[in-house]
Chains A and B, each alone.
Chain A
Amino acid sequence: QNDGYRTLSLSENVGLGSLPDQLVKKSTKQGFYFNVLCVGETGIGKSTLIKSLFNINFDDPVSMHFLPNMQLRAQTYELQESNVLLKLTIVNTVGFGDQIKRQDSYQPIVDYIDAQFEAYFQEELKIERSLFSYHDTRIHVCLYFIPPTGHSLKSLDLLTMKILDSKVNIIPIIGKADSITKTELPKFKNKIMSELVSNGVQIYQFPTDDETVSEINTYMGGHLPFAVVGSTEEVMIGNKMVRARQYPWGIVQVEDENHCDFVKLREMLICTNMEDLREQTHARHYELYRRCRLEEMGFRVIGPENKPVSLQEAYEAMRHKLDLEKQRKEEQLTQQFMQRVKEKEIMLKQAEQQIQTQFKHCMLMYQEEKMKLERRKNALEYEIAMFIEKKANAELLQSQASVSTPGFSLERDNE
């Protein structure tokens, strides 16, 4: 691990011992984010378990079974214990598995998880970003509730877990485990685990590489899936009030390890591995998402000389490609446009010619008409002239005759 650097020996107390404390102090001030996704069918005890696990009380409307499709509901709580501030977000799947057609039950979950990754991804890519004060909403752990049938995994559960295993850390748990007997439980657990293994579902592995936690993690790992019971009621046992469920035949104590695995779950989830869950989410699941996203955007992972390509080079190559594409399209469009213009011009020319011919034709007609009318006019004028002459002659005759005859014969002539 020294990478070949010389190790120096210190002659005295330098003060390095305070370094982890400095780091931790900073993180405590900022607070930790922890986001839990609960997947399971309606009524399996998700909300109750969360309330028991984190000791919080909230008014949660009891879900009905008749939702048209599955929804995800997220709520954030701020919990403080000694000087640690935990910003806890619980995402609940409401109506999971309630529909008649359940093929798409898992899709909203996948979309939600991806949306949180996408938000972080976008923030990381920004030019002016503020990652250290970013509200991290990425899901750190998925508690998958398996119904306590006692037989085997349902196909919906198997399918959903298979789809989610590459996106989030999955911890399978058996909900409402107080309905399984002591003898049925180990068989059920083994069945579930072997089904998961044979179907290649990768659930979250408690880390065993660090000596301080490997022992307990290996021990706990052998008890998966955890059979849990949750309760929001307290019962007096001896002289203490404990969380328990009271039945006519006895009392199931939530925090009794003989009764259920609640304590184991709390130990694993919170006390031992919370930090590892967060780190795995960031270093493994998020990085995978990021890589897929970049590849989908068109960037290749290995460059032409088989060296890993940096985002910048890939971006520039892509930009170049898109520029060429743009140029090509531009030329194409210009050509199309020119083509159309030409066609239009031809059309217009034709129309113009047509009009010209029509115009000529009209002109000719007009000329003819005009000539005709002229002739008629001339004819009529000639007639008029004739008539006036006749009239003049007639008047002359009349005037000569009126000397000899009375006037009424004049009127007859005038008609």
Chain B
Amino acid sequence: GSSLEPEEPSMEPPAVPEEEEMPVTAPSGQEGCQLFGYVGIEAVLDQMKIKTMKTGFEFNIMVVGQSGLGKSTMVNTLFKSKVSRKASQPGQEEPIPKTVQLQSVTHVIEEKGVKMKLTVTDTPGFGDQINNENCWDPIIKYINEQYERYLREEILITRKRKIPDTRVHGCVYFVPPTGHWLRPLDLEFMRRLSKIVNVVPVIAKADTLTLEERAEFKQRVRAGPQGAPEMLCVPPRPQLKSRTLQIQEDLKTHAISVYPQEDFDQDPEDRLLNDRIREKIPFAVVGADQEHQVNGKRVLGRKTKWGIIEVENPAHCEFPLLRDLLIRSHLQDLKDITHNVHYESYRVRRLNESNQ
């Protein structure tokens, strides 16, 4: 016979009936009930997990920024593998294209039984021209095309069991480390794109901030109900923090809502978690894909004349935070917001326009 005995002492009965409200008297409508004994509802969680492991995950990420900011290296570091071949051939000069091109590369990565189909879309040529007017257009067009593709699949009469998802779940925008404010290009891009996709801004090549810039940025302190910067969590490097604060201020002034968006916090728990993240956005990151020896350990880092910058060291850069956000804690949330918010608003627009 089977080895499933509901009375097994190892399977603990549910926690005290603190769960439900009053016992039932009314015969109709919604009622809360007290459970006596084991039913087995929590097994549905395992069932779901098994199903998701079988179907696997899809994740589509786009990286945008001027050439030379370390986008490809960053992606490789994030996914600990040679996702982008560009970075591994530093000697080879790839010509900067005359217009913004979009290149998508898809790989399958697997870890602990979880399969993920990862698509990275790179945007060489962005912001590299002399005249960068409308350089965001090809990007917006690409993002909308993916929504369109999904929409078409969804409205078929006989539709696939699992609609292939090529929609961009997150757009990582690389802000150059130098400069006083966000440049008009950065503002314009983020403003337009945060309306249709989740934008995660990062300060690239954070190791190159110079002393003068540090001093200057310290002056730009974000005022507000949260008070003086000392009250925020101690930043790894104060000069990075000032640049971060300054960018936050800029974004606020221009009403650009980047990920995680305040409007989509679902409950107080979410809000608390996301508030902590919002304090640190944009993350100052350094990318590296080579290992070095530090204190007898092999770490991923960049070797410079003045020391080794450890990518995974929170005191050196905020890369671990970015990785945690994108993969370990908010990946599903990125996908959900793309599906429930951005895709739906695209659909509304599209359906309204075809009605006219």
Contacts and interface: CB of A to CB of B under 8 A. Distances in A.
B54 interface: yes
Interface string B325-341: 00111111100100110
Contacts of A276: 47, 51
B39 A266 contact: yes
A299 B157 contact: yes
A334 B349 CA distance: 38
B158 to A, nearest CB: 6
Contact of B114 (A2, A17, A27): A17
A179 to B, nearest CB: 24
B2 A216 contact: yes
Interface stretch (A37-45, A52-60, A161-169, A373-381): A52-60
Contact of A295 (B42, B45, B49, B157): B157
Interface stretch (A97-105, A110-118, A304-312, A348-356): A304-312
Contacts of A56: 24, 33, 35
A78 to B, nearest CB: 5
Nearest to A132: B340
A10 interface: yes
A200 interface: no
Nearest to B57: A19
Interface in A186-238: 210, 212-213, 216, 219
Contact of A8 (B40, B82, B112): B82
A216 B3 CA distance: 10
A176 to B, nearest CB: 22
Chain B CB within 10 Å, residue with most, of A21, A216, A219: A21
Contacts of A81: 14, 19, 35, 39-42
Interface string A253-291: 001010000010011001111111001000100010011
Nearest to B115: A1
A414 interface: no
A270 B332 contact: no
Contact of A19 (B83, B157, B323, B332): B332
A16 B35 contact: no
Nearest to B24: A58
Interface in A77-117: 77-84, 86
A12 B77 CA distance: 10
A9 interface: yes
Contacts of A318: none
A47 B302 CA distance: 68
Contacts of B52: 19-20, 23-24
A59 to B, nearest CB: 6
Contacts of B351: 127
Given A26-B336, A255-B7, A12 B80 contact: yes
Contacts of B130: none
Identify which of B39, B117, B157 gathers the most chain A CB atoms within 10 Å of its CB: B157
A158 interface: no
B266 interface: yes
B155 interface: yes
B50 A10 contact: no
A78 B31 CA distance: 6
Contacts of A129: 344
A9 B81 CA distance: 6
B265 to A, nearest CB: 12
Given A14-B111, A79-B39, A311 B156 contact: yes
B13 to A, nearest CB: 9
Interface-centre pick from B23, B32, B158, B161 (highest chain A CB count, 10 A): B158
Contact of A86 (B15, B41, B152, B333): B41
Nearest to B119: A5
B41 to A, nearest CB: 4
A18 B329 contact: yes
A294 B340 CA distance: 25
B57 A59 contact: no
Given A17-B111, A19-B332, A80-B20, A294 B27 contact: no
Nearest to B20: A80
A6 interface: yes
A301 interface: yes
B51 A311 contact: no
A312 B4 CA distance: 50
Contacts of B6: 255, 263, 266
B352 interface: yes
Contacts of A291: 157-158
A195 to B, nearest CB: 27
Nearest to B44: A274
A310 B158 contact: no
Contacts of A270: 39-41, 43-44
B35 A27 contact: no
A61 interface: yes
Given A17-B111, A75-B28, A266-B6, A274 B47 contact: yes
B45 A22 contact: no
B79 interface: yes
A84 B27 contact: no
Contacts of B47: 272-276
B80 A11 contact: yes
Nearest to B341: A132
A84 B40 contact: no
B332 A26 contact: yes
Contacts of B53: 20
Interface string A372-395: 000000000000000000000000
A296 B30 CA distance: 35
A29 interface: yes
B42 A14 contact: no
B215 interface: no
A312 B155 contact: yes
A14 B50 contact: no
A78 B156 CA distance: 35
B39 A54 contact: yes
Contact of B33 (A5, A12, A26, A79): A79
Given A8-B79, A13-B111, A57-B24, 18 more contacts: A7-B109, A10-B109, A15-B324, A15-B328, A16-B110, A22-B331, A55-B33, A55-B36, A59-B24, A76-B29, A80-B20, A128-B348, A213-B50, A267-B2, A271-B4, A295-B157, A309-B156, A310-B152
25 contacts: A5-B108, A8-B81, A10-B109, A11-B80, A15-B323, A18-B329, A22-B329, A24-B49, A53-B39, A55-B39, A56-B24, A57-B23, A60-B27, A73-B28, A76-B30, A79-B41, A83-B42, A128-B348, A132-B339, A213-B50, A266-B6, A270-B43, A272-B43, A291-B158, A311-B157
Shortest 10 CB-CB distances between A and B: which pairs? A80-B19, A311-B155, A22-B332, A275-B47, A17-B112, A16-B111, A271-B40, A8-B81, A271-B43, A15-B328
